[in-house]
Amino acid sequence: MLAQSTQPVISIKNFSMKFGSKRVIDDMSFDVHKGETFGFLGSNGSGKTTTMRALLGIYQATSGTLHINGKKFEPQDGATLGYLPEERGLYKKESVIDVMTYFGQLKGLGKREAREWSLDYLKRVKLEDKAKSKVDKLSGGQQQKVQLGVTIMNNPDVLILDEPTKGFDPVNRRLLMDIVEAQREKGATIILITHDMSEVERLCDRLILLKDGTKAAYGTVPEVLEKFQKHTMDEVFLQVYGEDAAMQEGEE
């Protein structure tokens, strides 16, 4: 596990969020340290995406402070942040290389640099022959690969990945997680929002598990397993959500 500095890269204190009269998050606090891979877990609708949107200034928190590198996030800090949102999409009628170059430029790269980086990345994920294809001609999985490329462009210090492997087959899931691990080795701080507990056990230094807008578990993987007296994170998840999770699965 990577060493942690005292100054957290991400600091969330007493964060609460309400939509109308509905309270989604209730007085939640946690820190994420430099170089850490942090698992952000919870069932559907538990407030994970809302927390990330509030952290990134897309939503305004009802109360509390949410800081990245000691201050509230502003879009101009986007050059040092990579965010793969839950709602995925790219400019569908543009070519893959044009879209990637555009985002690269927005993240502070020069046009040529962004283009070259994009072509290298497409080669790495075996999409080099799709560079000039329109985005909407790509399969869903191929589009996700492109979007992950856009997210990790310019080697961001902080990566927030909301279910990065959703919808991937095992081969491509491994390929993408290798890319994420490579970013971690470069020193990136990563928040990983996922339902895949094996990914959590393999990658995460620490985690938080949300239930009903509050943290049901918080700590390193061994600490959480110890606390719940379980052998796997799957078992912890099932214990925390119990029948709720089974019902959700049944509904799906």
Binding site for another protein (CB under 8 A): 18-20, 53, 56-60, 73-76, 78-79, 81, 83, 85, 87-94, 98, 102-103, 105-108, 147, 150-151
User: Quick one: 134 or 230, whose CB is closer to another protein?
Assistant: 134
User: Quick one: 88 or 230, whose CB is closer to another protein?
Assistant: 88
What CA–CA distance (Å, rounded) separates 196 from 25? Answer: 22
CB of 53 to another protein, least distance (A): 7
User: Quick one: 161 or 217, whose CB is closer to another protein?
Assistant: 161
User: Quick one: 160 or 179, whose CB is closer to another protein?
Assistant: 160
Tell how far CA 101 is from the center of its chain.
22
CB of 198 to another protein, least distance (A): 27
CB of 130 to another protein, least distance (A): 18
Query: Six-digit token pair at 82?
Result: 């990579």
CB of 38 to another protein, least distance (A): 18
Q: What is the dihedral of CA 55, 58, 59, 63, to 10 degrees?
A: 40
Residues 148 and 1: beta-carbon distance below 8 Å? no
Cβ-based burial of 93 (10 A; exposed 0-12, middle 13-18, buried ≥19):
exposed
